[in-house]
Amino acid sequence: MQSNIIVTAVVVIYLLVMLLIGYLSSKKIESNTDFVVAGRRLGPFLMAGTLAATEIGGGSSLGVVQQGMESHGLSAAWYIITMGFAFVILTFLAPKFRAAMVKTVPEYFRRRYGKPSGIITSLIMFVPLIGLTAGQFIASSVILSTMLNLNYKTAVLIVGVVVTIYAIMGGLWSVTLTDFVQVFLIVIGMIIALPFGMNLAGGWDNVVANVPAETFDMFKGYNVMDVISLTIMYVATFTVGQEAVSRYYAARDGKAARQGSVLAAIVNFIYAFFPTLMGIIVLALINMGKFNAADFQDVGARYALPVLAMEAMPAIICGLLFAGIVSATMSSADSDLLGAGSIFANDIYKIVIKPSASDKEIMVVTRVTMAAVGVFATLIALFNTSSIVTILMFAFTLRAAGSFFPYVLGHYWKGASQAGTMASLIAGTIVVVYLEHVSKGNLFGLHFNQPIVPGLVAALIAFLIFSLVMPPKKQTTELAPEE
């Protein structure tokens, strides 16, 4: 795919704007609370933008286009629709999350269940964020190099430097503002792109006539159980993932948190069908003979959307869409980076290494950690060390399986105990590891595409049993004050 100077210019301008936002945001940072949870001042619209941008990544754009084209048809939209379902469910929990007045998930565990629980969850949650950051760096770099005809390693350096710098400068406030721009770019870019793709195919009737009838079956690629499993997985990971739940902590109040969650769900519901339809259009163009296998030889089917964009759209529109696609993965990377820095500084450095650390010192450590994670993630991406990323990404599933119920039920149930929390963490981990590495998803004669689902069941049983057998000395849902 040949690079176009206008397309390249639009993407470069976008990257420079992200850095400018980071610089301007740094002027508003006066405390660690400002840096980690944006001073708890996010209204519903900024909440919605940053929540949606954090979860709409490369898989939700390029991956869904590929699924729509290759195998799933219209049902590929479920991948994003189920994210919307998760945000709707979190609407009911959002005010509780905000009312806890914590900065990180491990801080909640520490104050609710005791110091050991906080330390264990901080380690469980810190490691996956390194892998997630590296994974997003790799995805962003592949996209950037493919679309602009850049050397992959050059793209890695560009992505690593830009994301790390603007995230370090302004913390969550910077990330929120850049997320808002990024979700606007990807959603509007995809909406604008659709008519151009349709025009190249000769209209919607031509699209329908040149794809199999089952392409429009909403359950062609996902069955009902898959939809339920995806929704459960998203609810669990969004709830205890620092990169997502920090947005609820940063809301202006409980009402803003709830409204932001609803708006984020609406964004997902609307956006879901645009990449899906783009994939169906590409399939129609292939069947019509306007595209052929050679069009994807160099870049692969995952890059069907960039191929279509270069063929069907004016350079300026193509550039905006490409900027949006790059931003979709970068908006996930910056959140992972900030999450890693926040947890290390607030829950490991402050609690284990130097309890006497001042607020400003913690903020410095957060930034230094983000820089270190950014460099490490860039090195992993440069050498594309997939085995390391696989290990770290596996930890992503582990963190949600064991910690979900102690975190959520701890807000409501006075009898939730430290013993129950430890049992939940152990049981969830054992089941997920067994399904992922031993039985290949099989348990009691059933096959699970998402190991987190039985992991959650095991964690819940262990949590309830041990909390009842070994209840807390003082039954309360109130958090202990920080030392």
- For the segment 412-448, what is each residue's pLDDT rounded down to a tens digit? 999 999 999 999 999 998 888 888 778 777 877 777 7
Distance CA 332, CA 131 (A): 12
Given CA atoms 19, 25, 31, 36 in this order, what sign does their dihedral have?
A: negative
If pLDDT is split at 50, 70 and 90, which confidence band does 208 have? very high
Residue 293 has pLDDT above 70, yes or no: no
Distance CA 219, CA 114 (A): 45
CATH number of the domain within which 267 lies:
1.20.1730.10
Residue 126 vs residues 99, 346, 360, 392: alpha-carbon distances, Å: 24, 11, 21, 10
Residue 133 has pLDDT above 60, yes or no: yes
Distance CA 121, CA 123 (A): 5
Q: What mean pLDDT is predicted for residues 227-232?
A: 90
Q: Which amino acid is at 14?
A: Y
- Is residue 145 domain-shared with residue 32, that is, in the same domain? yes
Domain count, the chain: 2
- Is residue 344 domain-shared with residue 461, that is, in the same domain? no
309 found inside a domain? yes
Q: Which of 355, 388, 421 is the C-terminal boundary of a domain? A: 388
- Is residue 424 domain-shared with residue 291, that is, in the same domain? no
Of 55, 22, 117, nearest to 370 by C-alpha is 22
- Is residue 111 domain-shared with residue 57, that is, in the same domain? yes
- Is residue 201 domain-shared with residue 312, that is, in the same domain? yes
Residue whose structure tokens are 């348990």: 443
Q: What mean pLDDT is predicted for residues 110-139?
A: 88
- Is residue 441 domain-shared with residue 307, that is, in the same domain? no
Q: Which of 336, 365, 388 is the C-terminal boundary of a domain? A: 388
For position 113, what pLDDT does the model report? 94
Residue whose structure tokens are 């269940």: 113
If pLDDT is split at 50, 70 and 90, which confidence band does 249 have? very high
Mean pLDDT of all residues belonging to the chain? 87
Beta carbons within 10 angstroms of residue 89's beta carbon = 18
436 found inside a domain? yes
- Is residue 473 domain-shared with residue 328, that is, in the same domain? no
For position 385, what pLDDT does the model report? 58
Given CA atoms 69, 145, 396, 267 in this order, what sign does their dihedral have?
A: negative
359 found inside a domain? yes
Q: What mean pLDDT is predicted for residues 24-33?
A: 84
pLDDT tens digit sequence for 324-340: 888 877 878 888 899 99
Residue 7 has pLDDT above 70, yes or no: yes
Domain that holds residue 423: 402-482
- Is residue 187 domain-shared with residue 131, that is, in the same domain? yes
For position 1, what pLDDT does the model report? 44
For position 2, what pLDDT does the model report? 45
If pLDDT is split at 50, 70 and 90, which confidence band does 93 have? very high
Given CA atoms 217, 218, 220, 225 in this order, what sign does their dihedral have?
A: negative
Residue 390 has pLDDT above 80, yes or no: no
pLDDT tens digit sequence for 36-87: 898 899 999 999 999 998 888 767 777 888 888 888 899 999 999 999 999 9
397 found inside a domain? no
For position 64, what pLDDT does the model report? 87
**What percent of the chain clears pLDDT 70, i.e. is strictly above it?**
94
Cβ pair 334, 169 in contact under 8 A: no
Cβ pair 417, 393 in contact under 8 A: no
440 found inside a domain? yes
- Is residue 344 domain-shared with residue 416, that is, in the same domain? no
pLDDT tens digit sequence for 136-175: 888 788 778 877 788 889 999 999 999 899 889 888 888 8
- Is residue 348 domain-shared with residue 472, that is, in the same domain? no
149 found inside a domain? yes
Distance CA 294, CA 296 (A): 5
Q: What mean pLDDT is predicted for residues 285-309?
A: 73
Distance CA 465, CA 420 (A): 7
Residue 147 vs residues 101, 425, 452: alpha-carbon distances, Å: 43, 42, 35
Cβ pair 340, 126 in contact under 8 A: yes
**What percent of the chain clears pLDDT 90, i.e. is strictly above it?**
45
394 found inside a domain? no
- Is residue 32 domain-shared with residue 148, that is, in the same domain? yes
Cβ pair 62, 309 in contact under 8 A: no
- Is residue 66 domain-shared with residue 182, that is, in the same domain? yes
396 found inside a domain? no
For position 354, what pLDDT does the model report? 94
For position 116, what pLDDT does the model report? 92
More confidently predicted of 25 and 84:
84
Residue whose structure tokens are 């998803």: 441
Residue 309 has pLDDT above 90, yes or no: no
Q: Which of 334, 362, 388 is the C-terminal boundary of a domain? A: 388
